[in-house]
Amino acid sequence: MSSKEKKSVTILTESQLSSRAFKDEAYEFYKELRKSQPLYPLSLGSLGKGWLISRYDDAIHLLKNEKLKKNYENVFTAKEKRPALLKNEESLTKHMLNSDPPDHNRLRTLVQKAFTHRMILQLEDKIQHIADSLLDKVQPNKFMNLVDDYAFPLPIIVISEMLGIPLEDRQKFRVWSQAIIDFSDAPERLQENDHLLGEFVEYLESLVRKKRREPAGDLISALIQAESEGTQLSTEELYSMIMLLIVAGHETTVNLITNMTYALMCHGDQFEKLRQQPDLMNSAIEEALRFHSPVELTTIRWTAEPFILHGQEIKRKDVIIISLASANRDEKIFPNADIFDIERKNNRHIAFGHGNHFCLGAQLARLEAKIAISTLLRRCPNIQLKGEKEQMKWKGNFLMRALEELPLSF
């Protein structure tokens, strides 16, 4: 989207927000929005009218605002409910990301014990082994595509082992995950995604049947036990929860590892500083989360009660979408916001969200990134980008900020 096009656009569409062209110029566009149009109109197809939020303070306020709901059933009457866009929608959307209290609290409680600080620290040796094993495979070649060879397999192996998913099935989740996060109601995309989600549901049905017969000490077995106790978890909630844990359990971390490595490759002074001072790793991870936020836009929130924001009435049933990427570049909160500074102080980014829906796996993602990047720099000290940074392409994707690939030589 060129500067001229930006000036003439009065309403952004879902397809524009999802385009690769938008991702390439998003930060400059967000900067203009924060200055002059912090509440920007969206046209979201079958979802109706929406608003894009770009300022940090607005994001913090709205992420905690009880007038906004994640479950559209808490906003729409039975007559107003939109028809399902996908045949398999009901089987994959009854999870905590799409729920409000008290359902959200019930669903989150069922899994949060697996993501406590103590439980995450117990995974440290396993994550280190995975990182070393992946680098063992590519190091002799002196080259790798970081996304395919390292950033994707590391978190998918970790979450799969936590859930108890067979090794041979894990590669399938990449395609299924993309279908889930690929927000679009274009007819041809809907048909393709519905087919892929149908495959995912069939897989989950088969996996759950097997776990019922042969329960183990994994998270899926624990969720099945909760379902069998009656009111804790419905079958649809069970499938939806497993799906969410698989997708959210790796997508964000893939982007964190990739985007952080890319930022370091593009800022040689910061890369060298981190190599010389590895104790800055935690600070560097927080800056990477802020600078290239893995989740660019939040999933949708529905307005249950009208309210006024920046002089504009937000009506009941309007959709609110918050740009975490823009909020994390807000100049009023982050001095020199467009500078990548691994020693940044008071880094109050919201890359993992805020409020009730703060990412349950934030600690796990941070640990995986810390081990992945530390191991990469230690074992491949001469690592460098293969090609020009301008050649790297952001994926056209509504929710995520993700590189298609990141070729590295060492």
Here the tokens at position 304 are 């249950």
**Tokens, residue 135:** 């680098």
CA 257 centroid distance within chain: 12
Question: What pLDDT, on a 0 to 100 scale, did the predictor assign at position 192?
Answer: 81
Q: What does the DSSP assignment read for 76-119? A: S-TTTPPPPSSTTHHHHS-SGGG--TTHHHHHHHHHHGGGSHHH
pLDDT at position 170 is 81
The DSSP symbol for 307 reads E
* Cβ 67 vs Cβ 304: under 8 Å: yes
CA distance from start to end of the chain: 35
- What pLDDT does residue 228 have? 62
pLDDT at 214: 93
Q: Which of 239-248, 256-265, 286-295 has the lowest mean pLDDT?
A: 239-248
Residue pLDDT, tens place only, 2-45 = 444 444 447 899 889 999 999 999 999 999 999 999 999 999 88
Is the bond preceding residue 187 a cis peptide, omega within 30 degrees?
no
Whole-number pLDDT of residue 186: 64
Q: What is the pLDDT of residue 8?
A: 46
Torsion angle of C-alpha atoms 238, 242, 247, 248, degrees rounded to 10? 80
Answer for the pair 46, 184: CB distance below 8 angstroms, yes or no: no
Neighbouring residues of 394: CB distance < 8 A, sequence distance ≥ 6:
20, 23, 24, 401, 402, 403, 404
- DSSP reduced 3-state for 8: helix
pLDDT value at 87 more than 60? yes
Per-residue pLDDT at 82: 65
Q: Can you tell me whether residue 268 is helix, strand or coil?
A: helix
Question: By the 8 A CB rule, do 296 and 26 touch?
Answer: yes
The rounded distance, in Å, linking the Cα atoms of 299 and 359 is 13
Looking at residue 167, what is its pLDDT? 80
| pLDDT at res. 387 | 87
| pLDDT > 90: percent of the chain | 70
Percent of the chain beyond pLDDT 70?
A: 92
Question: What is the rounded average pLDDT of the residues 33-62?
Answer: 95
**Averaged confidence pLDDT in the chain:** 91
pLDDT value of residue 1: 45
User: Higher pLDDT residue, 90 or 133?
Assistant: 133
Least confident of 123-127, 260-264, 397-401: 397-401
Q: What is the pLDDT of residues 347-371, one digit of tens each?
A: 999 999 999 999 999 999 999 999 9
CA-based diameter of the chain, in Å?
A: 62
What pLDDT shows up at residue 353?
97
Q: Across residues 155-167, what is the average pLDDT?
A: 92
Mean predicted confidence (pLDDT) in 273-284: 97
pLDDT band at 410 (very low <50, low <70, confident <90, very high): very high
Token code pair at residue 202: 């069939």
Question: What is the mean predicted confidence (pLDDT) over 307-322?
Answer: 97
Contact by Cβ (8 Å): 86, 184: no
Instruction: With H, G, I as helix, E, B as strand and everything else as coil, classify residue 121.
Output: helix
290 closest CA partner among 249, 331, 245? 331
Residues 6+ apart with CB under 8 A from 91: 201, 204, 236, 239, 240
**Closest C-alpha to 42, from 10, 87, 74:** 10
Phi, psi of 123 (to 5 degrees): -90, -5
Amino acid at 174: R
3-state secondary structure 332-400: CCCCCCCCCCCCCCCCCCCCCCCHHHCCCCHHHHHHHHHHHHHHHHHHCCCCEECCCHHHCCECCCCCE
What per-residue string of b and e applies to 279-299 under the rule 16 or more CB within 10 Å gives b?
ebbebbbbbbbbbbbbbbbbb
- Which pair of structure tokens corresponds to residue 44? 């979201």
Interval 184-222: pLDDT, tens: 666 677 778 888 888 998 999 999 999 999 999 999 998
| Sequential DSSP letters for 208-258 | HHHHHHS--SSHHHHHHHHHHTSSS--HHHHHHHHHHHHHHTTHHHHHHHH
Average pLDDT over residues 324-334: 98
The whole-number pLDDT of residue 83 equals 56
Q: In what order do the strands lie in the sheet with 407-409?
A: 143-145, 407-409, 384-385
Return the pLDDT at 6.
Answer: 43
pLDDT at 388: 87
Q: Assign 335 a pLDDT band (cuts: 50, 70, 90).
A: very high
Compare 1 and 223 and report the one with higher pLDDT: 223
Domain 3-409's class? mainly alpha
Q: Which residue has the higher pLDDT, 5 or 333?
A: 333
